[in-house]
Structure 1
Amino acid sequence: MKLRKNADTLKQVTDLIEYAFLKNDDLTQNNTFMSRYLHSADYGIMNGDKLESYLMVTPFQSHIFSKSIQMAGIGYVASYPEYRGQGGISKLFKEVFHDLHEQNIPLSNLAPFSENFYRQYGYENTIYQKVYSFDKNALKGFKMPKKRKLLRGKWNDLEIQNYVVQLYEAQLHTKAERNTVVRPQWWWNRINEYYPYRNIVISLDENERPRGYMVYRIYNSTFHVEEMYYLDRNSAKDLLAFMASHISSRLKFKVIMPTNGLLEDVFPEQQFLNITLVSYMMSRIIDFKKIMSCMQLNRLGTFNIEVTDDQLCPWNNGVWEIEDYEGTLLCNKVEGDPDYSASINNWSKILLGELTLSRAIEAGDVHCNRNQRIEFKKGKISFYDYF
């Protein structure tokens, strides 16, 4: 059931979260928790007057190519141990998906504690991170810029803040992002408070226009770059030169980047880089028709797609005719045979993740009755958010 926001609900919610997530502090006094709580909806299973299971739903906007859609970030999924395994979480997800569908929210993202656990609710791995690890040897040869500038500060510096938001939002409007969060001001502020001691460096060109930024923290003898974005190679070199200015501190370096990023190409000696791909977030298609209307194809044409096995969002099941009309995909249910058939989980990986349709067919994730030789464009995710 959807819970009313009042003092009793807050007490019960924080008690459960503190127990389930081993938090020793009073969450009602935690600004980062309360800012999210006040912007979210609460769902819970009650046993008499006691909350036994809970999850939080936080609304966001998300960019998928040229369209901005509503997205629900799911978090704090928990039950007391004596109530686990009794179906409480399943009941909550079923109710949440129904309500989101009624509210025209077609997509949900979450950070899984167990991927298999969330697959049973239709979630699939769609968002990955590319992690670069290296030592000072990789940074030799990078020099601080002479004509361009680097501006260092913190989020509460309004000049720094404006540059970061300007670059972030400019990328959203390239119509190339896929499932990238539109960060409202309260979320920006929460991120800054949630991750303390963060510094920001802005790369400015010769005309003092922002061309890139880097958000970093130094802890545990490591220079952690938690967000890095640049518009050109010079800006990337400038940001790496700033990192190189710290090599006398005997630090290790770690940079988190988009999976399609090519930061390695900026390094003259890639042999010093250790690059890994890390799963980060899972996605769930709640409204297949709305998500399909955001997609882009490599060619014009009309074809049929079947969605199967969606027990929690049954409105997605069936055969859908997909028609490319002047760059917009029209999606309507039809009677007939599908060209391609797959579960909602696999369509999530194809439409919102890195998996291509051709590879899905080869792997047996998609049953192909007639190969139309189409591919869905992949786009990219340039920024990451954790719910």
Structure 2
Amino acid sequence: MVQIKQLTLEQFEERIALTQFAFQMEMSTEGIEEARASFRPDLEWGVFDEQGRLQSMLTIYPFEVWIQGQAISMGGIASVASWPDSRRQGGVSKLMIHALATMRENGQTISMLAPFSFSFYRKYGYEMVVERKAYTMETAHIPPRVDVPGHVRLVEKRTELFSGIYEAYASQYSGMLKRDDNWWKRKIWSKSGSAAIYYGESGEAEGYVIYQVTNRTFTVHEWVELTDAARMALWSFAANHDSMIDKLTLTASMDDSLSFLVPNPRFKQEVVPYFMSRIVDVTSFVEMYPFSPSNQEEALLLKLSDVHAPWNDGVFRMEFSAKGSARLERMNGTGASLPAVQCDIGTLTALLAGNRRPDMLRRVGGLHGDAAAMELLERRIPNRHTHLMDFF
């Protein structure tokens, strides 16, 4: 009989072998040793056969993610893989279900992952919450240089110079990671290239760009702007590279307005589906979630289906305070006098963490309910765009 167990330090080699095979990568000796130094077996789970051989694995990273301006504990699922002779035997399914219970125990009320297949992870309650815009523009399309008070300065890659700007920007979206120093060091500063900060007229840092110029291409690793002045100053800075480059590539949030602001918006723009999320513990998540205030207390009936997390499956009374807090109470009766909505956990995740509005979800058949309940949700759920600049 197969077993689900945490990995041990002694199983690092097995883990690396499966990683390289499943993700079609060949790690250098230096890369393997770096991975060994950062290996956290307490975050790694595997399915083992009767002989103790690792068949399938996944990792649960402990993160905090910004949701509606609040940092919430999140379980990041990554490195989901199986050997080919162990595939389609239910190993990954067992791990995914086990991961839900583990994340709940860890207080991680929401989970995120980068899917190899959206349809595969929808089976486990995940739903797409982050899409991004990918721009590729020739130098002729770069916004023209303008004079802006303040200045852009090339600076050293030091976390303390950038983290405050990043957090101010990240908290404006749902889905962005709350980064620690280790993440900056391992994931941001490990990229080649340069970094520049825009300091406004008051001397305050209002934006930055982390980028690399190679083969006459200006590749933006990160672009953060807190003000219109920062936007104009950073684009003027990018335009100053015109003699060195033929094109610029940039990944932006879905609410980015660049195409409206440039003289000629006919450059390549793609919408790229990116990350999925899933509410792990709906009761705890709702209690942490900052709903919009109202002039009175309100309630509705939520009929929620979740085949892989029985603690979420059922009928709940959802109470909203006038100040914007909420709570769920499991119902034994029908609560027939209340406005009611019905959906699965993926739809609820899209509603609360993916900025999909109630009316849109109703029209596509994901959310069912009476008009009063729909109107209540429309008022109570704040409208906040999603974005994610990181990958795991």
Normalising by the residue count of structure 2, what TM-score does the alignment of the two structures yield? 0.89
Contact 1:3/1:9, CA 8 A, preserved across alignment: no
Distance 2:255 2:41 in 1: 32
Give 1:201 deviation, angstroms: 1.3
Q: Work out whether 1:328 is the aligned partner of 2:325.
A: yes
Give 1:370 deviation, angstroms: 4.5
Contact 2:302/2:341, CA 8 A, preserved across alignment: yes
Distance 2:326 2:29 in 1: 45
Which residue pairs with 1:65 in the alignment? 68
DSSP-derived class of the 1:296 partner:
coil
Q: Work out whether 1:81 is the aligned partner of 2:81.
A: no
Q: Work out whether 1:183 is the aligned partner of 2:179.
A: yes
Distance 1:283 1:171 in 2: 20
DSSP-derived class of the 1:349 partner:
helix
Q: Which structure 1 residue ranges, 5 or more long, are not aligned?
A: none
Which of 146, 163, 166 is residue 164 of structure 2 equivalent to? 166
Distance 1:32 1:153 in 2: 27
Distance 2:213 2:45 in 1: 38
Distance 1:116 1:141 in 2: 42
Q: Work out whether 1:15 is the aligned partner of 2:17.
A: yes
What is the letter of the counterpart of residue 264 of structure 1?
S
DSSP-derived class of the 1:180 partner:
coil
Give 1:211 deviation, angstroms: 0.6
Distance 2:114 2:389 in 1: 11
Which residue pairs with 2:275 in the alignment? 281
Q: 1:112 to 1:154 in 2, by over 3 A?
A: farther
Q: Work out whether 1:291 is the aligned partner of 2:292.
A: no
Q: Which structure 2 residue ranges, 5 or more long, are not aligned?
A: none
Deviation string 1:167-202 (CA, Å, 9 cap, x unpaired) is: 1223456xx4323211111111111355x2132110
Distance 1:114 1:27 in 2: 31
Q: Work out whether 1:240 is the aligned partner of 2:235.
A: yes
Q: 1:28 to 1:40 in 2, by over 3 A?
A: farther
Give 1:116 deviation, angstroms: 1.1
Contact 1:40/1:59, CA 8 A, preserved across alignment: no
Distance 1:339 1:31 in 2: 55
Give 1:295 deviation, angstroms: 4.3
119-128 vs 245-254, which deviates more?
245-254
Which residue pairs with 2:314 in the alignment? 318
Distance 1:316 1:216 in 2: 43
Q: 1:361 to 1:297 in 2, by over 3 A?
A: farther
Distance 1:249 1:264 in 2: 23
Q: 1:2 to 1:49 in 2, by over 3 A?
A: closer
Distance 1:170 1:285 in 2: 25
What is the letter of the counterpart of residue 170 of structure 1?
A
Which residue pairs with 2:354 in the alignment? 353
Which residue pairs with 1:371 in the alignment? 372
DSSP-derived class of the 1:179 partner:
coil
Contact 1:227/1:383, CA 8 A, preserved across alignment: no
Q: Work out whether 1:102 is the aligned partner of 2:100.
A: no
Q: How do residues 102-181 of structure 1 correspond to structure 2 at under 5 angstroms? A: 102-139=105-142, 141-143=144-146, 145=148, 147-155=149-157, 158=158, 161-171=159-169, 176-181=172-177
Contact 2:342/2:369, CA 8 A, preserved across alignment: yes
- State the superposition RMSD in angstroms: 2.3
Which of 375, 378, 384 is residue 389 of structure 2 equivalent to? 384
40-49 vs 215-224, which deviates more?
215-224
Give 1:279 deviation, angstroms: 0.9
Runs of 4+ in 1 over 4 A off after TM superposition: none
Distance 1:172 1:247 in 2: 30
Distance 1:366 1:96 in 2: 26
Deviation string 1:22-70 (CA, Å, 9 cap, x unpaired) is: 2212577446644653386110011212111111111011222243221
Contact 1:40/1:58, CA 8 A, preserved across alignment: no
Normalising by the residue count of structure 1, what TM-score does the alignment of the two structures yield? 0.90
Contact 1:305/1:340, CA 8 A, preserved across alignment: yes
219-228 vs 238-247, which deviates more?
219-228
Question: How many aligned positions are there?
Answer: 376
Q: 1:304 to 1:198 in 2, by over 3 A?
A: farther
